[in-house]
């Protein structure tokens, strides 16, 4: 009996082609060298989260977990739902936030781009999202509230972060999603702007950014910032009825909006 070894035909050979964003990751790492956040494999993500043991929250893109690096630093790990797409929003966040360095911008420490597995590893923000401190659906005695003085400091901190994104970076960044949920607070309630998935980068000479629905300017962030301030005031007013005091504390917010 003669056995014939079968070889795959030319038509059956599948050539692997790098995705556009895989190439973008590699280019990003080459161009930024030691400044770029370290790239992790998905096995690293499982390790630092102890197999996703402590979940901090669930949002539209996936889950948020608490982790610990080898140097014992606590981190926040955003694990994206598996996707077959190119991951443009994901890479926007990696590239965008890696270009920033400011006390009011959250620091990206690591990232994972491992096939369809994607995750972002940020500095740990022990007080979580600003959102939970201003939306008061529960009875007053159960609410976790902040004094007006602290709310004012948070608003000023966010305005400084926005001014940095628009004027302080070598590449201007338009965030596109400024809202209380995307403002994180550390142990001292210092605010840090996060979630750069929708962010767009443009040169400092450009006044507008082209998107698929037209063009927009950094002023859209200023508008969102203003709406966030009004949400803070309204959220407090709905519970404590402190309209006069709120007006006093935020009377010159308009000057901040104009300056940005």
Q: What's the mean pLDDT in 7-11?
A: 46
Distance of CA 212 to the CA centre of its chain: 21
Contact (CB, 8 A) for 137 and 62: no
Superfamily of domain 130-259: Transferase(Phosphotransferase) domain 1 (1.10.510.10)
Instruction: Report how far residue 87's alpha carbon sits from residue 53's, in angstroms, rounded to the nearest whole number.
Output: 26
| Span 156-175, pLDDT tens digits | 999 999 999 988 887 788 88
Q: Which helix (H) or strand (E) holds 67?
A: strand 62-68
pLDDT at 12 over 50: no
pTM for this prediction: 0.73
Q: Which helix (H) or strand (E) holds 112?
A: strand 108-114
At residue 251, the pLDDT reads 53
pLDDT at 55 over 80: yes
Domain boundaries, the chain: 16-123, 130-259
Instruction: Report how far residue 32's alpha carbon sits from residue 157's, in angstroms, rounded to the nearest whole number.
Output: 28
At residue 93, the pLDDT reads 74
User: Which of helix, strand or coil describes residue 150?
Assistant: helix
User: What is the set of active-site residues?
Assistant: 177
16-123 is a CATH 3.50.30.60 domain: no
Greater confidence (139 vs 32) lies with 32
At residue 9, the pLDDT reads 47
At residue 259, the pLDDT reads 53
Tokens encoding 195: 């979630």
Per the rule left: phi > 0, alpha: psi between -120 and 50, beta: everything else, 218 is: alpha
| Span 60-108, pLDDT tens digits | 778 999 999 999 999 999 998 876 666 667 777 787 788 788 999 999 9
Dihedral angle, C-alpha 172, 175, 180, 185, nearest 10 °: -50
At residue 141, the pLDDT reads 41
| Span 176-210, pLDDT tens digits | 889 998 999 999 999 999 987 766 665 444 544 44
At residue 245, the pLDDT reads 47
Average predicted confidence (pLDDT) for the chain: 76
């Amino acid at each position: 009996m003669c056995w014939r070894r079968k070889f795959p035909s030319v038509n059956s050979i599948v050539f692997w082609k790098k995705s556009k964003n895989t190439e973008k990751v590699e280019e990003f790492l080459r161009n930024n060298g030691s400044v770029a956040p370290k790239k992790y494999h998905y096995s690293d993500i499982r390790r630092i989260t102890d197999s996703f043991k402590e979940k901090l929250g669930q949002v539209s893109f996936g889950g948020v977990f608490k982790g610990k690096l080898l140097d014992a630093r606590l981190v926040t790990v955003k694990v994206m739902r598996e996707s077959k797409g190119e991951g443009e929003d994901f890479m926007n966040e990696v590239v965008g936030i890696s270009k920033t360095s400011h006390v009011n911008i959250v620091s990206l420490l690591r990232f994972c781009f491992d096939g369809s597995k994607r995750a972002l590893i940020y500095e740990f923000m022990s007080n979580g999202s600003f959102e939970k401190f201003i939306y008061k659906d529960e009875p007053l005695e159960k609410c976790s509230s902040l004094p007006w003085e602290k709310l004012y400091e948070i608003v000023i901190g966010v305005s400084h972060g926005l001014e940095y994104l628009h004027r302080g970076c070598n590449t201007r960044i338009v965030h596109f999603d400024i809202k209380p949920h995307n403002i994180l607070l550390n142990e001292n309630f210092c605010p840090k702007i996060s979630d750069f998935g929708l962010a767009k980068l443009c040169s400092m000479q450009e006044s507008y950014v082209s998107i698929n629905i037209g063009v927009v300017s950094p002023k859209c962030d200023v508008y969102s910032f203003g709406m966030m301030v009004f949400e803070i005031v309204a959220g407090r007013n709905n519970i404590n009825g402190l309209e006069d005091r709120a007006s006093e504390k935020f009377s010159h917010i308009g000057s901040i909006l104009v300056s940005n």
